[in-house]
Chain A
Amino acid sequence: MLTAKTLTELTTLLDSGEASSAQITKEFLDRAASLNPRLNAYITLNGEGALKEAAASDARRKKGALLSRHDGLPLAIKDNICTGGLRTTCGSGILRDFVPPYDATSYEKLKAAGFITLGKTNMDEFAMGSTTETSFFGPAKNPFDTTRVPGGSSGGSAVAVAAAMAPAALGSDTGGSIRQPAAFCGVVGIKPTYGRVSRYGLVAFASSLDQIGSFARSVDDAALVLGVIAGGDRRDATSIDRPVDFRPSELTGDVEGMRIGVPEEYFQGVADEVKDAVLEKLKQLEAAGARTEPISLRRTEYAIPVYYLIATAEASSNLARYDGIRYGYRAPDVKALEDLYRKTRNEGFGKEVKRRIILGTFSLSSGYYDAYYLKALKGRTLIIRDFQEAFAKVDAIVTPVTTTTAFRIGEKISNPLEMYVSDILTISANLAGIPGISVPAGTDRAGLPIGLQIMGNHFQERKILDCAKAVERVSGPLTPAV
């Protein structure tokens, strides 16, 4: 079964001629089409388009004119990454029919390397949520238990990879939106350093926090995809050109002598089974030669307020562009321009998005700016300092990704504050702009996946990938019974 293979294994099959890109792509498309009614991982399947791209790749292979070593490999793309000619909804009613006239840089790079796009994955509306329940297209389901959330906001990408509806996927992470769904669905998910991947063509949520990354079923595969999309870009002034030093062939999984910090704040209020699983992996990392030591990230409890003030402020500004004028949904039968803005936005946005626009507008508004937004920016400085102090002593920081395993659909959706607080273990990495990876660390008694997070200093992706590889060796992959 080709859908059970990793990108690395599929590359071997392509190279030996045992499988064609068309065969591989068709198997993934068929499986995706048959499982999607149950899991809702994809908003749009690119059936015809993907088969055409695959046929073109096979033709290139025949001529010996491959675009890269990865030519012909398929993957899925989160629906907030602009794919020219292929609908990009961002999980929102306001972009329900939006077909972008241009490509995001990350997508352009994948195409230039010969990757095939299987489809666009489900997500929380504008990436605002931790479950995919806020999607205009309905929630995605956790393949380990379809009554539970897959996490979010990149829930569809995590589900697609976990259920073998794609071998890998792109996601985006503003406060944990790659790492948390990866943990809930038992796959690998990496958010790189802020600036490592161009954000050009990524629908903006919180521009100082957003970063594109990858999902896969192995650490090597996640690194492979990240390596393809990484790099500076003149169209994103915050992107930074650094050489990629973490290609699968460069990863050793060697943690001998690696100094790993274990912050006590990240183990408070964490379910016993999750805590125990991470502590057990830490012991195994020690056995493999790593040295662990307790550290303190003492301002962790302030990360939630700091994050939600900054993220919503940036969102309220970024989402001002959805006005029904140039693209996207426009409310019908409106007589005056001012009414058009209001009606379009009211009908086009879902509740969580409105809630965050209101919160962000509030904290930026006259009279409240200093006390809320500016104060949060100063709090951000302190959280960054905590990490700087920690990375002066250690190479990597290991923590749980989430406080619990996947919760039930509907459990937290009516209480936004409770939902926000559940992001406590992932948001600090975004505030500090550092890379983080979620790697499977076993399951709880109910069989639900547990994720282990490794955070590193800026541009230290290689260190956290090596550490993740060491964890992967002792954990093994998880496969849901769908």
Chain B
Amino acid sequence: MKIDESQILRVAELARLDLGDDEKKEFSTQLSDIISYVEKINELDTADVAPSDHIVELKNVFRADTVLPSIDRAALEKIAPRFEDGHVVVPIIIEGQE
């Protein structure tokens, strides 16, 4: 399947990536090649095959409902790009009055 620049843009939007013009061009060529290549899996007969999303037998893991320490707020303040008065600060979320 050929992936054109508009498809790349749509997927980039879903992934919150703001690609430059060069990247859009480069990725659409490369991804067309890669997608065409991976379409090889269509040769596999999977009519009665169940999907494996994991190799371990996943089962619910239960534990006692005990309170354990989590990461301290002071430690989070150190790694946050902006932190004030106990909160992570972000830019405007909804446009409106100041």
Contact = CB atoms under 8 A, between A and B. Distances in A.
A378 interface: yes
B47 to A, nearest CB: 9
A306 B93 contact: no
B38 A308 contact: yes
Nearest to A338: B16
Interface string A318-355: 00100111111110001111111111011001010011
Contact of B38 (A98, A305, A345): A305
Interface stretch (A52-60, A279-287, A379-387): A379-387
- Looking at B7, B18, B35, B72, the one whose CB has the most chain A CB atoms below 10 A away is B18
A361 B14 contact: yes
Contacts of B34: 308, 359, 416-417, 420
A342 B81 CA distance: 16
Interface string B37-55: 1111111101001111111
Contacts of B67: none
Interface in A361-411: 361-362, 365, 372, 374-382, 384
Given A324-B81, A337-B93, A357-B17, A379 B53 contact: no
A316 interface: yes
A343 B18 contact: yes
Interface string B66-98: 000001100110111110000010111101000
A330 B52 contact: no
What is the interface residue range for chain B against chain A? 35 or more
Q: Is the interface of A mostly helix, strand, loop or mixed?
A: helix
23 contacts: A98-B79, A208-B55, A305-B37, A305-B38, A305-B39, A306-B41, A316-B15, A325-B88, A337-B90, A357-B17, A358-B12, A358-B15, A358-B31, A359-B34, A372-B38, A375-B41, A375-B44, A377-B51, A378-B49, A379-B44, A379-B46, A417-B33, A431-B55
Interface of B: 3, 7-8, 11-12, 14-20, 23, 27, 30-31, 33-35, 37-44, 46, 49-56, 58, 61, 63, 71-72, 75-76, 78-82, 88, 90-93, 95
